[in-house]
A = this chain, B = another copy of it.
Amino acid sequence: MKANIIVTLKNGLLDPQGKAIEGALKSLDIPGVESVRQGKIFEVELAEQDKAKAQALLKAACEKLLANTIVENYRIELA
């Protein structure tokens, strides 16, 4: 089973990388970009076929390793 895990900074936290990209896009004459926030995506392949079990496994992976839940949100998308 394939899954995507998306980890993003929580709203309200400053994202300097996103701000830098915003500025760079402006200077490249790409108009109308109001905001950019950068996050991480993990494309995971699992042996587990059961959706509920896969979800539980990935939640554990996020909490223990992939996301810093103090400053980051994560979401799990099962394919």
Binding site for B on A (CB under 8 A): 6, 8, 18, 21, 24-25, 28, 30-48, 57, 60-61, 64-66
Chain B residues near A28: list those with CB within 8 A. Answer: 60-61, 64-65
Closest-CB distance, A36 to chain B (whole angstroms)? 5
Q: Are A37 and B46 in contact (CB under 8 A)?
A: no
Copies of this chain: 2
Q: Are A38 and B35 in contact (CB under 8 A)?
A: no
Closest-CB distance, A38 to chain B (whole angstroms)? 6
Give Cα distance in the complex from A34 to B21, angstroms: 33
Q: Are A33 and B44 in contact (CB under 8 A)?
A: yes
Which among B42, B60, B64 is the interface contact of A36 at CB below 8 angstroms?
B42
